[in-house]
Structure 1
Amino acid sequence: MTDGPTHYPPPGAPLPEEPEPPRAMTGGTRPPGPPAGGPPPPPTPWAPYAPQGGGGPAPQPGYLLGAAHKPGAFPLRPLTLGMIYDGAFRLIRFNPKATVGAAVLVTAVAMAIPIVITAVLTFTVGLAIDASGDVESEISTADAAGLVAAYGSLLLSIVLAQIGVIFVTGMVAHVARAAAVGRRMSLGEAWAATHGKRWRLLGLTLLINTVFLVLFVVYVVLWVLVVVVSPGPWPIVAWGLITVPAMICLSAWLWTRLYYLPVPPLMLEDVGVFGALGRSWTLTSRQFWRTFGIGLLTVIIGSIAGSMLSSPASFIGQIAAFALPEYAALLLVLTQAFALVVQNAFYAPFLAAVSSVQYLDLRMRKEAFDVELLREAGIVS
């Protein structure tokens, strides 16, 4: 005798056949037996107790609700923190090319630029770093120009890699939407799904980063003015005690309401840049602390994990630079590029997956979006 199924049946599977209920033993009555001379009848089991309130045996859980409401990476109902993280890891695991692969591809292509430039300069001009950390070369002018070109190209490539990561976040939003109904997306399909929204995505990123930059510049200017016109140290201390916590709270509030969630609605809904900001504002209304807590925890986990993955490469690069000073610039650029590729391979898909699943969760909580997803998955008509 078995203990029953260990896994929920897949969506759409027929319901298991219910066993014939056993006959209860009654006083002086025996169930009909086999013909004379045959084997003895098996012992008849006792009838199960009925649940409180009558109605016969309780239905077995899981057959009607468990699997039917999870056609894809996560259940189609309001999600807990564990479900959000589990769904994010599942959609990354089952769509590796469109998530991790995309992040690795864009970062590697961008970081190939400084590697090639530094390699050419190393084997032509002869960039080298001595034991004291000073750059030395046969021709100081050529060396200075080569150093600027090498590290300038590294900085430019980091910016290009981050632009590529912006496109990856848009792709992951489509991957999450497809994973909700049990469909996988390839790298080409995810890239094609962002068609018509790529420039808007860049514009959205530029706008929200400009807002934060302007806010920071204004705050710094106010600090300078307070320091200049203050008659003593106490007004400066009071200004800091009041404005520093206020600035942190304002930044966290704007980050949660406008920065964290606008990419999924821009990608998945028929809205523009300002419409995506409005959707983010609407979805996070009365959900601020939950959204902020999950987002902050995700950033912390991603940052720590990304640093742990990339730190060995940076450490090896520094040791190799001291061991081989004639190739120090090339080794440093090479290891920094590899470290950024490894970091983006985890951090970018993870953060984008969590924010996309959280966006779907907010829509299911506030707009009954789970009904539309269930209908699309073919579970309800």
Structure 2
Amino acid sequence: MIVSRGGIEGAGGAIVTQQFYGPAPATGSRGAGLPARRGSVPMRPLGLSDILDGSFRVIRRNPAAVFGPSVVLAVVRVAATAGLQLGAYRVLTAVQLQLVSIFLISAVIGTVLTGVLTLVVTQEVLGGRVTARQAALGVLGRIWALVGLALVIAVLETLALVPLLVLGIWLWGLWAVAVPAMVVERTSIRGALTRSRRLVAGLWWRVWGIRALGALLAGLLGLIVTIPFLLLASLAGSSSFLPAPGSGTPLVYLLIISAGSVVSATLTAPIRAGIDALLYVDLRMRREGLDIVLQQAALPAQPVAVPDRARSAF
């Protein structure tokens, strides 16, 4: 089962497609006589437990595709932030710039990881799997668009958050599925933000609550994972190890903290990314009957024609 811009390759090689922005075809009662689950995700609108549990299921079923990109991006982020921290020790007036840079780097890397995880999740919904290489290559063509989207969202949410806390929180929920929409639907930055707004409309509280709960769970897991590294680093910091160049921080202390950050980010980032991807799938099912179309794709059927303006079958 393969998702492409042309359609979904279903049973017997048939390509079953739908008008991407249009309603699902009439099928009678939802899911009647059709498979309820083909991967880790049920073929129906998802509840809170489905989304949270589904995120962990996807990770367990696809460890290489999930943790491969995650660990690479975690190393890049930690290396970049560690370098910025060393620079900030040399120039104290650069601390604010350092914090902003770390925030933007984290936002970009988190967005790219969400894009990769979106491909893994969409294949899971179809009952298939992708390798880490396939997932990475699937996002490669959209990498600069994702970077731009990450910067736009991060800057606008931050600017809104500083003077108007409510507005920043509102945008965080409104643009919750912009990244999955960009990856799956191949939209522009503006198109992804608009698409997310339309999918979330009327369901903002639900989307924001699930996203916030996922962030809280990931944060708690990250804290638990980081504690042993903090204890070990505190012991190292009290010893006479060589300081990091340009700072008074022991080099071993910095290395241990960085290692803890890599492990924590590797384990927790996929959880948040998976929740965003599953929220996108859930909203598509609720708004457009995507579950019905995907269920029908599993049955022998004649191809369904699709207008030229359709962008993808998923």
TM-score norm. by structure 2 comes to: 0.74
Question: Which of 273, 282, 293 in structure 2 is aligned with 1:372?
Answer: 293
Q: Which residue of 1 aligns with 2:214?
A: 298
Q: Which residue of 2 aligns with 1:213?
A: 158
Provide the rounded CA distance (Å) in 1 between the counterparts of 2:226 and 2:300.
46
Provide the rounded CA distance (Å) in 1 between the counterparts of 2:71 and 2:267.
9
Does structure 1 retain, via aligned residues, the 8 Å contact 2:110–2:273? Answer: no
Does structure 2 retain, via aligned residues, the 8 Å contact 1:364–1:370? Answer: yes
For residues 128-147 of structure 1, what are the structure 2 equivalents within 5 Å? none
- Give the drift of 1:255: 1.1
Q: Which residue of 2 aligns with 1:335?
A: 256
Provide the rounded CA distance (Å) in 2 between the counterparts of 1:157 and 1:210.
13
Question: Which of 250, 260, 267 in structure 1 is aligned with 2:167?
Answer: 250
- Give the drift of 1:203: 0.5
Q: Which residue of 2 aligns with 1:148?
A: 90
Note if 1:347 corresponds to 2:268. yes
Counterpart residue identity of residue 90, structure 2: V
- Give the drift of 1:317: 0.6
- Give the drift of 1:323: 2.1
Does structure 2 retain, via aligned residues, the 8 Å contact 1:114–1:333? Answer: no
CA distance 1:368–1:146, change in 2 (3 Å): closer
Question: Which of 107, 116, 121 in structure 2 is aligned with 1:171?
Answer: 116
For residues 115-130 of structure 1, what are the structure 2 equivalents within 5 Å? none
- Give the drift of 1:95: 1.2
Deviations 1:33-91 (A, max 9, x none): xxxxxxxxxxxxxxxxxxxxxxxxxxxxxxx55xx220111111111111112211111
Provide the rounded CA distance (Å) in 1 between the counterparts of 2:150 and 2:195.
15
Q: Which runs of 5+ in 2 are unaligned?
A: 1-10, 12-32, 244-248, 302-314
TM-score norm. by structure 1 comes to: 0.62
- Give the drift of 1:262: 0.5
Does structure 2 retain, via aligned residues, the 8 Å contact 1:374–1:380? Answer: no
Provide the rounded CA distance (Å) in 2 between the counterparts of 1:197 and 1:291.
25
Provide the rounded CA distance (Å) in 1 between the counterparts of 2:159 and 2:89.
32
CA distance 1:102–1:316, change in 2 (3 Å): same
Q: Which runs of 5+ in 1 are unaligned?
A: 1-11, 13-63, 119-143, 220-246
CA distance 1:212–1:161, change in 2 (3 Å): closer
Q: Which residue of 1 aligns with 2:312?
A: none
Does structure 1 retain, via aligned residues, the 8 Å contact 2:178–2:195? Answer: yes
How many residue pairs match? The answer is 261
Question: Which of 173, 182, 205 in structure 2 is aligned with 1:266?
Answer: 182
Rg larger in 1 or in 2? 1
- Give the drift of 1:113: 6.9
Provide the rounded CA distance (Å) in 1 between the counterparts of 2:157 and 2:189.
16
Provide the rounded CA distance (Å) in 2 between the counterparts of 1:264 and 1:168.
10
- Give the drift of 1:292: 1.3
Taking only the aligned residue pairs, the percentage that are identical comes to: 28
CA RMSD, 1 decimal: 3.0
Q: Which residue of 1 aligns with 2:64?
A: 97
Which structure has the higher relative contact order (CA within 8 Å, separation 6+)?
2
CA distance 1:380–1:295, change in 2 (3 Å): farther
